[in-house]
Amino acid sequence: MMMVRKPAPALPSVPLPLAVALTVLWVAVVWMTMPLITTDMTTYLLPWFDHIVATGPVASFTEPFSNYAPPYLYLLAALSLFNGVLPAMTLIKLLSIAGTVALAFAVRHLLTRFDTSRPVRTAALVFAMPSILLNATLFGQCDALWAAPCVMGIAAALDRRHAAMLAWCGLALAFKAQAVLVAPFFLALLIKRRVPPRLWLIAPAVTIATMLPAWAAGWPAADLATIYLRQADTFQMLSFNAPNIWAILQALPLGLPLSGLACAAAIGGTAAYIARFSTQILDNKALLSAALLATLVTAGLLPRMHERYFFLADVLALALALVCRDKPSLTIAILVQAGSTLALLSYLSGVAGLAALGAVAMIVATFFLARPLLNPAANDNPLLARAI
C-alpha cells in the first residue's frame, strides 16, 4: 500500500515581543558601535573614500586606488555625494547596514521556499547574529553585499532556475572573491542537473559586466583582471584569525611549513565534495545543508582565511535552523555563530587562542552537518529524502 506523506506544517514565525526586543537590542548595538573605528577602516576604507571625494565619483576610477573590486567602490562613490552631510565613517557604515538589510531580505526570499509563516519577521533574526551585526556596525565591512547574492543564488537553485542562479553567482563574485567559498555547491548542481555549458558563462559574464564602468573610466583592464590574485598575496599566514583547523595548528609550536598541506587538503576536500554531491539526490532541505557544508569545507581547509570568511556560513546555518526546527540544526547554528564570534574577538583582542577555540566549534559543526549528509542509507535521516 502506498503511503501518502502529510504536508509539512508551516514554520512558526518569530513572536512579536521577541522581534521588538531584538530590534531594540539592534538599535542599541548600532548606537554604541557606530562611533568606534577599526584598523581596516583607517587603513583601507577611509582612504578610499577620501580619494573618491578628492578626485570625484567618476574621475577617481581613472586609476587603481583600491584592492577591492569596483562594484563596492561604485557604491562608495555614490555615497561620496553626501560627504559633509554625515561623517565619512558613518556613511561607510550605513552602506554596510544597508547591505545587511538586503541580506535579510535575501534570507526572507530563501525561507519562502520552505513555506515559512511571516518570513519577514523570521528573517529579521539576521540582525540578531553577533558576527553579522558587528561586521556592519563595528567593522563597516561589506560582506553582506556578496553574501546576499549567494543566498539569492541558492534560492534560485532550489527553484531550478539555473540562469538566475548563475547570474546571482556572478554578482556575488563581483563584490568579493569570498563568493567562491560556496562555488563547489553550485558546481556540483550544474554537473548533477546537466545544465548546458553555455549557461555556465552567465556567471563570468555578469562579473565582467560589473567591471566595465571602471574600465571605461580608465582603470586598466589588466589590473581589474588580477585584483583577486593580488588580494591572495596580501597575507601569508596560514590563518589570519580564521576559525579553521589551521588556526589550531598555527597556535602550536610545530615550526613546520604547512602551506602546501593546506592547499592540498583544500583541493582534495573540494574535489571530494563535488564528486559526492554531483551524484547524490537531495531534497530542498538537504540542498540547503549541502550549501552550508560547502562553505564550511572550503573556509575550513583553505589557508590565508580571515576571521570574516565564515560570514556566509553564519547566514546559512541560521536559515537551516529556521527551516529544520530541530535540535541538530540549532546546535550547528550555535556552533557556527560561536566560531565566528570568537574569531572576531580574536581579531579585536589579539588573542590567537580565541580563534583556535572558535575553530574547534567550527570543526564540530562541520562534523555534525556532514555526518547525516554523507550517510544517505540511514532510515532516520531527516535531510536525505526523495529526489527533487
Q: pLDDT tens string for the chain (388 positions)?
A: 333 344 444 445 556 677 677 777 778 888 888 899 999 899 999 999 999 999 999 999 999 999 999 999 999 999 999 999 999 999 999 999 999 999 999 999 999 998 766 777 788 889 889 999 999 999 999 999 999 999 999 999 999 999 999 999 999 999 999 999 999 999 999 999 999 999 999 999 999 999 999 999 999 999 999 999 887 766 668 888 999 999 998 888 776 778 888 999 999 999 999 999 999 888 999 999 999 999 999 999 999 899 999 999 999 999 999 998 889 999 999 999 999 999 999 999 989 899 999 999 999 999 999 998 887 655 444 444 433 3
Phi, psi of 296 (to 5 degrees): -70, -35
Give the separation between CA 273 and CA 295, rounded to whole angstroms.
Answer: 11
Main-chain phi, psi angles of 236, to 5 degrees: -110, 0
Radius of gyration of the chain from Cα atoms?
21
The x, y and z cell numbers of residue 205, run together, are 559574464
All cell numbers assigned to 153: 543564488
In this structure, the number of other CB atoms found within 10 A of the CB of residue 374 comes to 14
Cα(221)–Cα(230) distance, rounded to whole angstroms? 14
Residue 374's identity, in one-letter code, is L
Paired strand residues for 239: 305
Distance CA 30, CA 231 (A): 30
Q: What backbone phi and psi angles, to 5 degrees, belong to 86?
A: -135, 155
